[in-house]
Amino acid sequence: MAAGAGGDPLVSDSLVKELTLLFSKEEIAETVARLAQEISADYADKSLVLIGVLKGAFVFLADLVRHLTIPAQIEFIRIASYGSKKESSGEIIVTKEVETPLEGKDVLVIEDIVDTGLSLQFLIDHLRSKNPASVKVCALVDKRSRREVAVQVDYTGLTMDDGFIVGYGIDFNEQYRALPEIFVVD
């Protein structure tokens, strides 16, 4: 199945790419429901704060919270990396900070994709400095073979090897976030 071909009114012409379906709506929905079930069981007696990493995790977080059977606070954070990702993780900065104290809370970072792991490593260190009771990670897509730093993903949705993906909140040059499935950009 292909999408994003010429004439697609949702995508500006200069950014039209060939897209190949990787994860269907059904596969994503089953995955999100499973993750929500695991999280609901593990955090039943905790003070859960979900921290969605903008912008890519916004659709995932929105679907995930509607499957939770326990209370959770919802926060967002946004980071930006400057320079070449491969050179250093020291060039990551927070551009939108969480807006609630995290002291004593059980923080669960909600990420779209873990690739090299550099963003997540930065985020975990940053959030730990706010003295939460715990910091864990839930990622919709894990590109394990691309990892450059060892970071623990506690709740993993889907796995893939190489390739650049879009859809379900995930972008290429700010395009394709609204697609309901996940595609590989060829």
Which one of 4, 19, 32, 56 is in contact with Mg ion (CB under 5 A)?
Answer: 56
Position closest to Mg ion via CB: 56
Per CB under 6 A, does 106 bind ligand IMP? no
Per DSSP (E only), the strands in 18-133 are 19-23, 48-54, 73-81, 92-96, 106-114
Per CB under 5 A, does 4 bind Mg ion? no
**115: annotated active-site residue:** yes
Which one of 28, 59, 76, 112 is in contact with ligand IMP (CB under 6 A)?
Answer: 112
- The residue among 83, 81, 169, 171 whose CA lies nearest residue 126 is 81
106 makes contact, choosing from Mg ion, ligand IMP, none, with CB < 5 to 8 Å by partner type, with: none
Q: Is 133 left (phi over 0), alpha (psi -120 to 50) or beta?
A: alpha
**Whose Cβ is closer to Mg ion: residue 56's or residue 132's?**
56
Q: What are phi and psi of 150, to 5 degrees?
A: -80, 110
Of residues 54 through 93, those in contact with ligand IMP by CB under 6 A are: 56, 85
Per CB under 6 A, does 179 bind ligand IMP? no
Rounded Cα–Cα distance for residues 186 and 177 (Å)? 16
- The residue among 92, 124, 131 whose CA lies nearest residue 108 is 124
**Whose Cβ is closer to Mg ion: residue 26's or residue 185's?**
185
**Whose Cβ is closer to ligand IMP: residue 118's or residue 179's?**
118
114 makes contact, choosing from ligand IMP, Mg ion, none, with CB < 5 to 8 Å by partner type, with: ligand IMP
Rounded Cα–Cα distance for residues 176 and 70 (Å)? 32
- Which of 85-102 are b and which e, b meaning 16 or more Cβ less than 10 Å from the residue's Cβ? eeeebeebeeeeebeeeb
Catalytic residue ranges? 115
Q: What does the binding site for ligand IMP look like in residue numbers (CB under 6 A)?
A: 56, 85, 111-120, 164-165, 170
